[in-house]
Amino acid sequence: MFRVYLDHMATTPLDREVLAAMLPFLENSFGNPSRMYDLGAEAKEAIERARESVARLINASPNEIIFTSSGAEANNLAIRGLAKANQNKGMHVITSEIEHHSTLNAFRSLQKEGYVVTFLPVNSYGEVSVEKLESAITDRTTLVSVMLANYEVGTLQAVKEIAEIAHEKGALVHTDAVAAAGNIPVDVKELGVDALSISAHTMYGPKGVGALYLREGLRIVPLIYSGIQEEGRRGGTENVAGIVGFGKAAELALRHLDKVEKVRWLRDKLIEGVLEVEKVELTGHPEKRLPNHASFIVESVDGEALMMALSFEGIYMGNGTACISQVLRASPILLAMGYPSQRAQCSAIFTLGRETTKRDIEYVLSKFPGVVAKLRKISPLWDG
């Protein structure tokens, strides 16, 4: 059966060059990087080379990169670590209603500890209201966290403008760039952020490794206490093979950024074809969105049922953030954007990769209308 993978927001396949870079550190070069002898020094040097590659991807300095176990840990380290380090200034923090759950739950944990948390609303495109930010921020605000690109609807946020507003009030700014890095150019200096989270597995690297950019000179309270690893900012023996893979994935992501327009063209063909089906609506901003992202409401069709039905045709797509899709039927993102609960259950998300071809898109468009029609025939909500 022909297979088409269009769920790159959930994860990406491991690039063969990444695997080749990792293998020596899973076999013979197995030393602990904290040891001074040659096996340890070899592992330590490999980590530092990877740190340089990850830093280069986002235009940071290597000493500003902290390796973590995931993008979720990077989000938690940034939010809790910066809030705790600056609580003497104030205990007011700001985020948006449509963040990844690792961000939202980190803020909710602060809320339980006495912090005042403002959750900014979004418009029908999923854009954070900059005006609401200006109204909410005070001299006691210590941290603002707004994602660079939304996982579910692909909308890009005005992070640079958000950072300028926050800095005027003396607040620090964090952005979750896991969905963006590798898909669009990401430059921490251009964005003006103080902290930024990324993950390897969304850019053809291994699962189980992420990174936090932390602007030089900032203090952070660790989540994990141990020894001297990551300059004391994140304890625990390093995942050497994973970090090496992350470094190679970052190097390849930078090299492949010139393929963005090809992916965007294929994405637009997919959107054009899907919207020919009756009562299908594009979600997210029509222009200010990730170039590989296409998300829809398919009227009267349960998103999970559509995802499974398409998988039987060899087509793999998503119906929400992978971290919560098995728990919540209605997308919290779509609910925050103003969609009623019934329609928010009808989400379909296609995210392309650099290996996606025109043939893949043609195959999807040949199967999608028929699968939707079959599901609507058995849907009690369909009156077509």
What tens digit of pLDDT does each residue of 101-116 get?
Answer: 999 999 999 999 999 9
* Token pair belonging to 142: 């210590």
- Considering the domain boundaries, does residue 141 fall inside one? yes
Q: Which domain holds residue 323?
A: 4-12+258-377
Element (H, E) at 350: strand 347-351
> Which residues are 66's β-sheet partners?
212
Q: Taking residues 371-384, what's their average pLDDT?
A: 91
- When divided into structural domains, the chain yields a total of 2
Nearest partner of 296 among 315, 317, 314, 312, judged by Cα: 317
**pLDDT value at residue 228:** 85
> Which strands sit side by side in the sheet containing 172-176, from one edge to the other?
65-68, 210-214, 195-199, 172-176, 141-145, 92-96, 116-120
Residue 278 sits in a domain of what CATH number? 3.90.1150.10
**pLDDT value at residue 325:** 44
* CA pair distance 56, 2, nearest whole angstrom: 37
Nearest partner of 173 among 185, 159, 184, judged by Cα: 159
Cα 162 from chain centroid (whole Å): 18
CB 374, CB 322: distance < 8 Å: no
* Token pair belonging to 72: 């979720």
Nearest partner of 144 among 123, 156, 160, judged by Cα: 160
Rounded to 10°, the helix 38-57/240-255 angle is 30
Alpha helices in the chain (DSSP H): 16-22, 38-57, 71-85, 101-112, 130-136, 159-168, 188-191, 240-255, 260-274, 303-311, 332-336, 341-344, 358-377
| pLDDT tens digit sequence for 137-173 | 999 999 999 999 999 999 999 999 999 999 999 999 9
- Considering the domain boundaries, does residue 384 fall inside one? no
Residue 117 sits in a domain of what CATH number? 3.40.640.10
Domain boundary (215, 237, 255) is at 255
* CA pair distance 280, 272, nearest whole angstrom: 11
* CA pair distance 153, 150, nearest whole angstrom: 6
| pLDDT tens digit sequence for 38-64 | 988 999 999 999 999 999 999 999 999
- Considering the domain boundaries, does residue 220 fall inside one? yes
Quickly state the pLDDT bin for 34 (edges 50, 70, 90): confident
Q: Taking residues 16-38, what's their average pLDDT?
A: 94
Do 244 and 285 share a domain, yes or no?
no
* Catalytic positions: 323
Cβ burial of 206 (10 Å; 0-12, 13-18, 19+) is buried
Do 207 and 278 share a domain, yes or no?
no
Do 236 and 101 share a domain, yes or no?
yes
- Considering the domain boundaries, does residue 107 fall inside one? yes
Nearest partner of 159 among 96, 108, 210, 91, judged by Cα: 96
Domain boundary (255, 289, 304) is at 255
Do 180 and 293 share a domain, yes or no?
no
- Considering the domain boundaries, does residue 383 fall inside one? no
Q: Taking residues 285-300, what's their average pLDDT?
A: 97
- Considering the domain boundaries, does residue 61 fall inside one? yes
- With a pLDDT cut of 70, the percent of the chain lying above it is 97
Pairing state between β 210-214 and 65-68:
antiparallel
Quickly state the pLDDT bin for 197 (edges 50, 70, 90): very high
- Considering the domain boundaries, does residue 382 fall inside one? no
Domain boundary (211, 240, 255) is at 255
Signed CA dihedral, 118, 124, 128, 131: sign only: negative
Do 126 and 182 share a domain, yes or no?
yes
* CA pair distance 370, 327, nearest whole angstrom: 28
- Does the global pTM surpass 0.85? yes
